[in-house]
C-alpha cells in the first residue's frame, strides 16, 4: 500500500499538537507522538528534522489558524478580545502551545508569523490612534499587551479560583469585552 505523505504529515502534526500542548517541548516524547500518529520515529525526523522543528511546525500552524479565524481590527479592540476569547474556549490547545512557546523558546527564536502579525497590529493601532478612532492614552504596544492578556485571562488564572469563576461562557466573555471598553474609555 502506498504511503500518503500529506496524510502522514497531518497525523504527525495532530499527534504533536496534543503532545506539545500537554507536555511542552522538554516534556514531549517523540515515541508518544509517533505511536499516536501510527508512524515510526524516523518519520518525525524525515518530515520535520527535530523535535524542536516539529514544535515550530505545530505552533506555526496553530498561530496561522488563530490569525485566520480571529482577524484583528484596531477600531474594534473590544470585539477582537471577545473573538480571541471564543477561539481559546474552542481551541484550548492553542493557548497552551502559546504558553509553552513563551516558556521554552529563547527570545531570539521567535517565529516570523508572530513578529509580522504583531508589527501589523501595532501599525494598525498607531494609524487608528492618529485618525482619532482609538484613544491615545495607551501606546500601541500597551494596548496589544492588554488585549492579549485579557483575551486569555480566564484560561490563565490560578486553578484555586476555579470554583469561584463564572461558569457561564457568555458572562466571562462579556466581562472581557467590557474591560477593554473601559480601558479605551479612560481619559
Topology, domain 1-51: Arc Repressor Mutant, subunit A (1.10.10)
User: In the chain, pLDDT over 90 holds for what percent of residues?
Assistant: 75
Q: pLDDT (tens digit, 9 = 90+) per residue, 156-165?
A: 887 777 778 7
The answer to whether 19 and 41 are in contact (CB under 8 A) is no
For residue 175, name the pLDDT band (cuts at 50, 70, 90).
Answer: very high
Report domain extents, the chain: 1-51, 70-185
Cell numbers linked to 187 = 481619559
Find all residues with CB under 8 Å of 85, minimum gap 6, and list them.
151, 152, 154, 172, 173, 176
Q: What is the mean pLDDT of residues 155-183?
A: 87
The answer to whether 58 and 97 are in contact (CB under 8 A) is yes
Half-sphere exposure at residue 45, Cβ-oriented, CA atoms within 13 angstroms: 6
pLDDT exceeds cutoff 60 at 153: yes
For residue 183, name the pLDDT band (cuts at 50, 70, 90).
Answer: very high
User: In the chain, pLDDT over 70 holds for what percent of residues?
Assistant: 95
Q: What is the mean pLDDT of residues 43-52?
A: 94
Q: What is the mean pLDDT of residues 66-89?
A: 95
For residue 94, name the pLDDT band (cuts at 50, 70, 90).
Answer: very high
Return the higher-pLDDT residue of 112 and 180: 180
* pLDDT, position 2: 46
**Closest by Cα among 123, 150, 126 to 138:** 126
* pLDDT, position 36: 97
* pLDDT, position 1: 42
CATH annotation of 70-185: 1.10.357.10
Amino acid at each position: 500500500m502506498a504511503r500518503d505523505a500529506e496524510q502522514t504529515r497531518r497525523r504527525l502534526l495532530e499527534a504533536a499538537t496534543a503532545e506539545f500542548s500537554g507536555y511542552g517541548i522538554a516534556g514531549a516524547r517523540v515515541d508518544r507522538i509517533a505511536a499516536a500518529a501510527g508512524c515510526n520515529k524516523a518519520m518525525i525526523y524525515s518530515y520535520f528534522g527535530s523535535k524542536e522543528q516539529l514544535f515550530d511546525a505545530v505552533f506555526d500552524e496553530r498561530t496561522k489558524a488563530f490569525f485566520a479565524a480571529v482577524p484583528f481590527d484596531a477600531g474594534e479592540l473590544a470585539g477582537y478580545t471577545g473573538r480571541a476569547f471564543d477561539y481559546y474556549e474552542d481551541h484550548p490547545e492553542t493557548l497552551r502551545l502559546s504558553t509553552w512557546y513563551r516558556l521554552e523558546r529563547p527570545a531570539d527564536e521567535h517565529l516570523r508569523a508572530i513578529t509580522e502579525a504583531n508589527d501589523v497590529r501595532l501599525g494598525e493601532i498607531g494609524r487608528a490612534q492618529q485618525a482619532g478612532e482609538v484613544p491615545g492614552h495607551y501606546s500601541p504596544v500597551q494596548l496589544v499587551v492588554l488585549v492579549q492578556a485579557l483575551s486569555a485571562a480566564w484560561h490563565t488564572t490560578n486553578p484555586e479560583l476555579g470554583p469561584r469563576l463564572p461558569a457561564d461562557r457568555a458572562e466571562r466573555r462579556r466581562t472581557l469585552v467590557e474591560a477593554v471598553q473601559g480601558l479605551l474609555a479612560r481619559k
